[in-house]
Copies of this chain bind each other. A is one copy, B any other.
Amino acid sequence: MAKPTAPRGLARQRVLDAALALFAAHGVHGTSLQMIADRIGVSKAAVYYQFRSKEDIALEVLRPSVEDMARVIRIADALPDVEARRAVIVSGLIEMTVRYRELAVFFHGDPAIDQLVHSEPEFDVVTTRIRELLEGSDCTVADRVALSVFLSGVCKAAADPGLADVDDGELHRILLELSGRILAPLATESAAAGASRSPSASRSG
Protein backbone atom coordinates (compact mmCIF):
# COMPACT_ATOMS: atom_id res chain seq x y z
CA MET A 1 0.00 0.00 0.00
CA ALA A 2 1.22 3.47 -0.88
CA LYS A 3 -0.51 5.15 2.08
CA PRO A 4 2.06 6.81 4.39
CA THR A 5 0.88 5.01 7.52
CA ALA A 6 3.95 5.54 9.67
CA PRO A 7 4.14 9.36 9.64
CA ARG A 8 0.36 9.55 9.80
CA GLY A 9 0.43 7.25 12.80
CA LEU A 10 2.92 9.54 14.49
CA ALA A 11 0.87 12.64 13.73
CA ARG A 12 -2.24 10.89 15.04
CA GLN A 13 -0.46 10.03 18.27
CA ARG A 14 0.64 13.63 18.77
CA VAL A 15 -2.97 14.78 18.39
CA LEU A 16 -4.15 12.11 20.85
CA ASP A 17 -1.48 13.03 23.43
CA ALA A 18 -2.31 16.74 23.19
CA ALA A 19 -6.04 16.01 23.39
CA LEU A 20 -5.62 13.85 26.48
CA ALA A 21 -3.73 16.60 28.33
CA LEU A 22 -6.35 19.19 27.38
CA PHE A 23 -9.34 16.94 28.15
CA ALA A 24 -7.88 16.20 31.59
CA ALA A 25 -7.47 19.92 32.33
CA HIS A 26 -10.63 21.35 30.76
CA GLY A 27 -13.01 18.45 30.11
CA VAL A 28 -14.08 17.43 26.61
CA HIS A 29 -16.63 20.25 26.39
CA GLY A 30 -14.01 22.79 27.47
CA THR A 31 -11.52 21.71 24.80
CA SER A 32 -11.73 22.89 21.20
CA LEU A 33 -10.06 21.47 18.08
CA GLN A 34 -8.26 24.81 17.84
CA MET A 35 -6.76 24.29 21.33
CA ILE A 36 -5.55 20.83 20.29
CA ALA A 37 -4.03 22.21 17.07
CA ASP A 38 -2.38 25.11 18.96
CA ARG A 39 -0.84 22.76 21.51
CA ILE A 40 1.07 20.79 18.88
CA GLY A 41 1.69 23.81 16.65
CA VAL A 42 -0.29 22.72 13.60
CA SER A 43 -3.35 24.11 11.81
CA LYS A 44 -6.90 22.99 12.55
CA ALA A 45 -6.99 21.60 9.01
CA ALA A 46 -4.07 19.32 9.85
CA VAL A 47 -6.03 17.93 12.79
CA TYR A 48 -9.11 17.47 10.58
CA TYR A 49 -6.93 15.50 8.17
CA GLN A 50 -6.49 12.90 10.93
CA PHE A 51 -9.86 12.99 12.70
CA ARG A 52 -13.43 13.82 11.74
CA SER A 53 -14.28 15.66 14.96
CA LYS A 54 -13.34 16.31 18.58
CA GLU A 55 -15.64 13.43 19.56
CA ASP A 56 -13.73 11.17 17.19
CA ILE A 57 -10.50 12.18 18.97
CA ALA A 58 -12.02 11.53 22.39
CA LEU A 59 -13.11 8.03 21.32
CA GLU A 60 -9.61 7.25 20.01
CA VAL A 61 -8.07 8.49 23.28
CA LEU A 62 -10.30 6.04 25.14
CA ARG A 63 -9.96 3.13 22.69
CA PRO A 64 -6.88 1.37 24.18
CA SER A 65 -8.43 1.25 27.65
CA VAL A 66 -11.75 -0.02 26.31
CA GLU A 67 -9.96 -2.72 24.29
CA ASP A 68 -8.09 -3.76 27.46
CA MET A 69 -11.38 -4.09 29.30
CA ALA A 70 -12.84 -6.12 26.43
CA ARG A 71 -9.97 -8.59 26.96
CA VAL A 72 -10.66 -8.71 30.71
CA ILE A 73 -14.32 -9.44 29.95
CA ARG A 74 -13.33 -12.34 27.69
CA ILE A 75 -11.20 -13.73 30.53
CA ALA A 76 -14.05 -13.32 33.02
CA ASP A 77 -16.66 -14.81 30.70
CA ALA A 78 -14.59 -17.98 30.39
CA LEU A 79 -14.97 -18.65 34.13
CA PRO A 80 -17.88 -20.81 35.30
CA ASP A 81 -18.49 -19.09 38.65
CA VAL A 82 -20.41 -15.80 39.04
CA GLU A 83 -18.30 -14.61 41.99
CA ALA A 84 -15.03 -15.41 40.20
CA ARG A 85 -16.18 -13.50 37.10
CA ARG A 86 -17.06 -10.53 39.28
CA ALA A 87 -13.69 -10.61 41.05
CA VAL A 88 -11.88 -10.61 37.69
CA ILE A 89 -13.85 -7.56 36.53
CA VAL A 90 -13.21 -5.66 39.79
CA SER A 91 -9.52 -6.43 39.68
CA GLY A 92 -9.35 -5.68 35.94
CA LEU A 93 -11.05 -2.32 36.38
CA ILE A 94 -8.66 -1.30 39.13
CA GLU A 95 -5.65 -2.42 37.10
CA MET A 96 -6.88 -0.49 34.06
CA THR A 97 -7.74 2.59 36.08
CA VAL A 98 -4.29 2.76 37.66
CA ARG A 99 -2.56 2.13 34.31
CA TYR A 100 -4.60 4.85 32.58
CA ARG A 101 -4.61 7.32 35.47
CA GLU A 102 -4.86 10.45 33.33
CA LEU A 103 -7.73 8.96 31.37
CA ALA A 104 -9.71 8.05 34.46
CA VAL A 105 -10.26 11.68 35.40
CA PHE A 106 -12.48 12.35 32.44
CA PHE A 107 -13.75 8.84 31.81
CA HIS A 108 -15.59 9.01 35.12
CA GLY A 109 -16.97 12.45 35.62
CA ASP A 110 -17.42 14.13 32.28
CA PRO A 111 -21.04 13.80 31.13
CA ALA A 112 -19.85 14.32 27.52
CA ILE A 113 -17.82 11.12 27.77
CA ASP A 114 -20.78 9.12 29.03
CA GLN A 115 -22.84 10.17 26.02
CA LEU A 116 -19.95 9.48 23.68
CA VAL A 117 -19.27 6.00 25.03
CA HIS A 118 -22.94 5.06 24.69
CA SER A 119 -22.99 6.38 21.12
CA GLU A 120 -20.16 4.04 20.02
CA PRO A 121 -21.66 0.52 19.83
CA GLU A 122 -18.29 -1.18 20.31
CA PHE A 123 -17.70 0.75 23.56
CA ASP A 124 -21.27 0.48 24.76
CA VAL A 125 -21.08 -3.33 24.60
CA VAL A 126 -18.05 -3.27 26.92
CA THR A 127 -19.49 -0.90 29.54
CA THR A 128 -22.84 -2.73 29.50
CA ARG A 129 -21.17 -6.12 29.98
CA ILE A 130 -19.00 -4.77 32.83
CA ARG A 131 -22.14 -3.63 34.59
CA GLU A 132 -23.88 -6.98 34.03
CA LEU A 133 -20.92 -8.92 35.39
CA LEU A 134 -20.63 -6.63 38.42
CA GLU A 135 -24.35 -6.63 39.19
CA GLY A 136 -24.91 -10.36 38.77
CA SER A 137 -28.45 -11.64 38.73
CA ASP A 138 -29.39 -10.79 42.29
CA CYS A 139 -28.56 -7.16 42.94
CA THR A 140 -30.12 -5.37 45.92
CA VAL A 141 -30.43 -1.61 46.34
CA ALA A 142 -27.42 -1.66 48.67
CA ASP A 143 -25.41 -3.59 46.06
CA ARG A 144 -26.29 -1.01 43.42
CA VAL A 145 -25.22 1.89 45.66
CA ALA A 146 -21.98 0.09 46.54
CA LEU A 147 -21.25 -0.54 42.85
CA SER A 148 -21.81 3.11 42.07
CA VAL A 149 -19.48 4.17 44.90
CA PHE A 150 -16.88 1.65 43.67
CA LEU A 151 -17.07 2.77 40.04
CA SER A 152 -16.88 6.51 40.72
CA GLY A 153 -14.75 6.44 43.82
CA VAL A 154 -12.01 4.07 42.73
CA CYS A 155 -11.76 5.43 39.21
CA LYS A 156 -11.71 9.08 40.28
CA ALA A 157 -9.21 8.46 43.06
CA ALA A 158 -6.75 7.03 40.53
CA ALA A 159 -6.93 10.33 38.69
CA ASP A 160 -6.96 12.61 41.75
CA PRO A 161 -4.20 15.22 41.27
CA GLY A 162 -3.80 15.20 45.07
CA LEU A 163 -2.62 11.58 44.80
CA ALA A 164 -0.21 12.11 41.90
CA ASP A 165 2.72 11.38 44.25
CA VAL A 166 1.39 7.90 45.14
CA ASP A 167 3.11 5.27 43.02
CA ASP A 168 1.07 2.91 40.85
CA GLY A 169 1.84 -0.24 42.85
CA GLU A 170 0.82 1.24 46.19
CA LEU A 171 -2.28 2.89 44.70
CA HIS A 172 -3.29 -0.43 43.15
CA ARG A 173 -2.91 -2.26 46.49
CA ILE A 174 -4.90 0.30 48.46
CA LEU A 175 -7.69 0.56 45.88
CA LEU A 176 -8.01 -3.22 45.77
CA GLU A 177 -8.47 -3.37 49.54
CA LEU A 178 -10.96 -0.48 49.52
CA SER A 179 -12.93 -2.16 46.72
CA GLY A 180 -13.19 -5.36 48.72
CA ARG A 181 -14.69 -3.39 51.59
CA ILE A 182 -17.05 -1.37 49.42
CA LEU A 183 -18.37 -4.43 47.57
CA ALA A 184 -18.74 -6.75 50.57
CA PRO A 185 -22.39 -7.36 51.57
CA LEU A 186 -23.77 -4.56 53.76
CA ALA A 187 -25.62 -4.86 57.04
CA THR A 188 -28.36 -2.66 55.62
CA GLU A 189 -28.63 -5.02 52.68
CA SER A 190 -30.54 -7.67 54.56
CA ALA A 191 -33.12 -5.08 55.61
CA ALA A 192 -33.38 -3.81 52.03
CA ALA A 193 -33.62 -7.36 50.69
CA GLY A 194 -36.34 -8.19 53.20
CA ALA A 195 -38.35 -5.18 52.10
CA SER A 196 -38.14 -5.95 48.40
CA ARG A 197 -38.31 -9.76 48.34
CA SER A 198 -40.52 -12.41 49.79
CA PRO A 199 -38.64 -13.82 52.81
CA SER A 200 -39.34 -17.37 51.60
CA ALA A 201 -38.08 -16.78 48.05
CA SER A 202 -34.97 -18.80 47.48
CA ARG A 203 -32.15 -17.03 45.65
CA SER A 204 -30.69 -18.72 42.61
CA GLY A 205 -27.85 -16.52 41.36
Residue numbers of A with Cβ under 8 A of B are 24-27, 29-30, 105, 108-112, 141-142, 144-146, 148-150, 152-154, 156-157, 160, 162-163, 166, 170-171, 173-175, 177-178, 181-182, 184, 186-188, 192
Decide: A174 and B154 in contact? CB cutoff 8 A.
no
Q: Which residues of B contact A109 (CB under 8 A)?
A: 108-111, 156
User: Which of B24, B144, B175 is in CB contact (< 8 Å) with A163?
Assistant: B144
Decide: B141 and A174 in contact? CB cutoff 8 A.
yes
User: Which of B26, B111, B163, B187 is in CB contact (< 8 Å) with A111?
Assistant: B26
User: Which of B148, B160, B177 is in CB contact (< 8 Å) with A188?
Assistant: B177
Given contacts A144-B166, A152-B153, A156-B156, could you give 6 more A-B pairs where the C-beta distance is less than 8 Å? A105-B111, A109-B109, A148-B162, A148-B163, A150-B153, A182-B182
Decide: B156 and A148 in contact? CB cutoff 8 A.
yes
The binding surface of chain A is classed by DSSP as helix
Docked Cα-Cα span, A165 to B175, in Å, equals 28
Min CB–CB distance A111 → chain B (angstroms): 5
Decide: A171 and B156 in contact? CB cutoff 8 A.
no
Docked Cα-Cα span, A142 to B175, in Å, equals 9
Q: Which residues of B contact A150 (CB under 8 A)?
A: 153
Q: Which residues of B contact A111 (CB under 8 A)?
A: 24-27, 30, 105, 109
Smallest CB-CB separation from A143: which chain B residue?
Answer: B174
Decide: B188 and A173 in contact? CB cutoff 8 A.
yes
User: Which of B24, B30, B157, B184 is in CB contact (< 8 Å) with A145?
Assistant: B157
